[in-house]
């Protein structure tokens, strides 16, 4: 089974488990929305429909939160898992949010267009480091001037000891939030596809990709929100 099949297999129950498996859910996704929102609001103020590209969008969690925070956006969701995208389509259609779905790998060329925000949550860590760097370059190149890239991501600890500590803390937190042994085992099985990188290195890669004002805006152990802005 590949990573897309692993997520398709849990697509129906994916959203319900998120608040247990991402212990800092509100601050994590909320920060990503805060980082992405300003250029979207600026586009609306200029009379344009803001364009958002969500990489590894899954069931559209981050896209939905963005559409709720900035009504009027148009979303493009990319993911390799068609059942995850089908859940996203149902939810976005139900809420009347304009969107298009692109079933593709994150190594493929990005959907044509220029975007006010390129966003991603918990997806790019499935690529190896050269794949991440290449994707960051393509994402930076797909932004309008002043557009924002933000990645709400699972990151590696900067040392093996800290990385082990990240996992211990995660296990304790998800257990306290009510994840049972089966849910934790299934999440750990999906984590065998993970190739996370430390947040410091990834911020450097974003700067190398040409983004300005690169920063880590939120971090709680393995969960980090980082990004940057395309120069005007
Ligand atoms: C943990 S889910 C995150 C989904 C959503 N962004 C969220 O925040 O809930 C990871 C998603 O990334 C997708 N994904 C992983 N590797 C991918 C790749 N190489 N190409 C396209 N999608 C990929 C999976 O199919 C899955 O839907």
Mean pLDDT value of segment 110-128: 98
DSSP strand pairing (74-79 vs 115-121): unpaired
pLDDT digits (tens, 9 = 90+) for 19-64: 999 999 999 999 999 999 999 999 999 999 999 999 999 999 999 9
pLDDT above 70 as % of the chain? 100
- Residue 230 near residue 146 (C-beta atoms within 8 A): yes
Which residues have a Cβ under 8 Å from the Cβ of 21 and sit 6 or more positions away? 174, 179, 183, 187
Q: How far apart are CA 175 and CA 168, in angstroms?
A: 11
Place of tokens 């969690």: 61
Looking from the CA of residue 152, the nearest atom of ligand 1 is 8
pLDDT of the residue at 87: 97
Mean pLDDT value of segment 122-148: 98
Average pLDDT, the chain: 97
For a pocket test of ligand 1, which of 56, 64, 194 has the largest count of ligand atoms closer than 8 A to its C-beta?
56
Residue with CA at minimum distance from ligand 1 atom 26 = 58
Residue 159 has pLDDT above 80, yes or no: yes
Mean pLDDT value of segment 81-94: 97
1 band by pLDDT with thresholds 50, 70 and 90: confident
Tokens representing 98 are: 């304009």
Looking from the CA of residue 107, the nearest atom of ligand 1 is 19
Ramachandran assignment for 47, one of left (phi > 0), alpha (psi -120 to 50 degrees), beta (any other): left
* Ligand 1 centroid distance, CA of 223 (Å): 15
pLDDT of the residue at 231: 97
DSSP strand pairing (223-229 vs 212-220): antiparallel
List pocket residues of ligand 1, CB cut-off 6 Å.
3-4, 7, 56-58, 61-62, 79-81, 84, 105-106, 121-123, 126-127
Give the DSSP H or E segment for 65: helix 61-69
pLDDT digits (tens, 9 = 90+) for 173-188: 999 999 999 999 999 9
Residue with CA at minimum distance from ligand 1 atom 10 = 123
Tokens representing 82 are: 């068609």
- Per CATH, the number for 3-229 is 3.40.50.150
Place of tokens 């429909």: 49
89 band by pLDDT with thresholds 50, 70 and 90: very high
Which residues have a Cβ under 8 Å from the Cβ of 84 and sit 6 or more positions away? 7, 8, 11, 14, 57, 58, 59
């Amino acid at each position: 089974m590949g990573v897309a099949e692993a997520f398709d297999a849990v697509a129906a129950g994916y959203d319900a488990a998120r608040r247990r498996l991402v212990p800092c859910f509100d601050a994590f996704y909320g920060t990503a929305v805060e980082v992405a929102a300003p250029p979207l609001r600026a586009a609306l103020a200029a009379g344009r429909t803001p364009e958002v590209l969500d990489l590894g969008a899954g069931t559209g969690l981050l896209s939905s939160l963005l559409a709720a925070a900035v009504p009027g956006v148009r979303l493009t969701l990319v993911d390799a898992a068609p059942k995850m995208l089908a859940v996203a389509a149902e939810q976005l259609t139900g809420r009347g949010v304009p969107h298009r779905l692109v079933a593709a790998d994150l190594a493929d060329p990005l959907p044509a267009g220029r975007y006010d925000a390129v966003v991603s949550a918990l997806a790019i860590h499935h690529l190896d480091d050269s794949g991440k760097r290449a994707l960051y370059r393509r994402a930076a190149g797909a932004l309008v001037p002043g557009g924002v890239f933000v990645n709400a991501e699972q990151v590696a600890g900067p040392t093996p000891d800290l990385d082990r500590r990240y996992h211990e803390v995660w296990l304790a937190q998800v257990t306290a939030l009510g994840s049972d042994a089966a849910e934790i085992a299934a999440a750990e099985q999906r984590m065998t596809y993970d190739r996370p990188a430390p947040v410091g290195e990834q911020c450097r890669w974003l700067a190398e990709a040409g983004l300005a004002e690169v920063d880590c805006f939120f971090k709680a152990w393995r969960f980090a929100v980082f990004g940057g802005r395309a120069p005007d």
